[in-house]
Amino acid sequence: MNSLAEPRKWEKFFWPLLATGLLLALWHYSVIWTATKVFPSPSSVEKGLVGLFQHHVLWADIRDSLRRVAIGFGAAVLLGIPVGLMLGWYPAANQVVNPAMQILRPISPIAWIPVAIIFFGIGDSAAIFLIFLGAFFPIVVACINGVSNVPSVFRRTGRNFGLTPPQLLARVVFPAALPQILVGLRIALGIAWLVVVAAEMIAVDSGLGYLVIDSRNSGKRYDLVVAAILLIGLIGLVLDFGIRRLERLKPVRWGFRSES
């Protein structure tokens, strides 16, 4: 059994690395074959990336983007989880709020950029507001669905043990709904990272999104544009990996059992 398991662990690293190598090779030779003077080669992107790090520019942009996402996403979590739990706990309230939420939820946060600039001006507040909007609704919907999908036997068991409604919600319903809530958080974080890049292209003068548009406008430095795009994707991958690690934690998978 061990001899069969080892190749699988090895393949987890081998195949992604092989796919990455093939993609880089395809990129490199495509630039050579097309003789393009616009799109940069992997080596040009690497040189541009090294230059950004050497001039201590990139760390500040990464920090600003992550800070905006942390504030906007954190605010969405702090407000969205209680709102979602309450709406899931009280179906009558959900029926009242749901039509308005279903109208607002499909609107792209990017469409709110002019409104955000009117209310908050050019700066961090506008970008954070857009991130909050992008993350808030997926969190609320995930919480509502999570609470609604908790088996009724869980609630009856909690009541039989004399739990009050707040205790039942906190100690039974929330842990049971937590895996689905974390899926909503994962989706919301991905949207927040998408939104911050778009918002930084318009509403602020720092961050990875600003780096993309600034590199394009000042000198058409497409090597820096592609470098920033690759960094955006890499950081998004790391953020998603962190959320997925939370989903695999034993207290999350067995939240109800650990509380009982």
Q: Write the pLDDT tens digit of every residue in 41-88.
A: 888 888 888 888 877 778 889 999 999 999 999 999 999 999 999 999
Would you state the pLDDT for residue 7? 56
| Region 139-150 average pLDDT | 93
Would you state the pLDDT for residue 19? 85
Q: Whole-number mean pLDDT of the chain?
A: 85
3.30.1330.10, 1.10.3720.10, 3.30.70.20, 3.40.50.10540: which CATH number matches 41-259?
1.10.3720.10
40/258: higher pLDDT? 40
Residue 4 has pLDDT above 70, yes or no: no
Residue 232 has pLDDT above 80, yes or no: yes
Most confident of 73-77, 158-162, 222-226, 231-235: 73-77
Would you state the pLDDT for residue 254? 43
Show me where the domains of the chain are located: 41-259
Which tokens in the block code for residue 75? 């605010």
Cα angle, residue 22 at apex, residues 19 and 23 outer, rounded to 5°: 85
**Percent helix, strand and coil across the chain, each to the nearest 5:** 85, 0, 15
196/54: higher pLDDT? 196
Residue 187 has pLDDT above 50, yes or no: yes
Q: Write the pLDDT tens digit of every residue in 87-136.
A: 999 989 999 999 999 999 999 998 998 899 899 888 889 999 999 999 99
Q: Write the pLDDT tens digit of every residue in 133-143.
A: 999 999 999 99
Cα angle, residue 133 at apex, residues 200 and 75 outer, rounded to 5°: 95
Q: Answer whether 164's CB lies under 8 Å from 202's CB.
A: no
Q: Answer whether 240's CB lies under 8 Å from 189's CB.
A: yes
On the CB side of 124, how many CA atoms lie within 13 Å of its CA? 12
> How confident is residue 251, by pLDDT bands cut at 50, 70 and 90?
low
Q: How many CB atoms lie within 10 A of CB 155?
A: 17
Contacts of 228 (CB under 8 A, 6+ apart): 61, 208, 211, 212, 215
> How confident is residue 6, by pLDDT bands cut at 50, 70 and 90?
low
Would you state the pLDDT for residue 128? 94
pTM of the model: 0.84
Q: Write the pLDDT tens digit of every residue in 21-32.
A: 899 899 888 888
